[in-house]
Amino acid sequence: MISNIPLMIVPLIVFNLVIAGLAGVGGADPWATQLYSVQMLSGGIWRMTLGDLMIVLSLALLFFEIMKSTRTSNASVVDHLLSTFVFVAFLVEFLLVPSASHSLFFILMAMAFFDILAGFTVSLRSAGRDVNFR
């Protein structure tokens, strides 16, 4: 049952914790907080912000969500339904909460939408191959 929990709920929870100030990051835009910088061989400086790290971690979670959608079992229907609820939560928060009107939150919401699309697409393609005519 725990494997049916959509992983894209993690970025939603983390975003809300940071915006609420419960993650120890403050300021006008906590997602612009620079975590570290690296001097490149070209002379440029590569900076990693908290928002950049959030996108990278969310992409990794999206990868695992897509891998979960390749399962062909009855539990995949529940997984798709829960992923849809997570997307609806993203959408409602994006439309109604002023601190969620951030480009990072929009990108996370788009990832949740792509999770739904990929899950249903993979399920429909694999279901078409499971049909036997005897």
DSSP E strand boundaries for the chain? 34-39, 45-49
Mean pLDDT of 68-90: 84
Q: What is the pTM of this model?
A: 0.84
The pLDDT, as a whole number, for residue 132 is 60
The pLDDT, as a whole number, for residue 128 is 60
The pLDDT, as a whole number, for residue 130 is 56
Mean pLDDT of 65-74: 78
Residue ranges covered by each domain of the chain: 8-127
DSSP state for residue 43 in the 8-state scheme: S
Q: What angle do CA 57, 63, 65 make, to 5 degrees?
A: 105
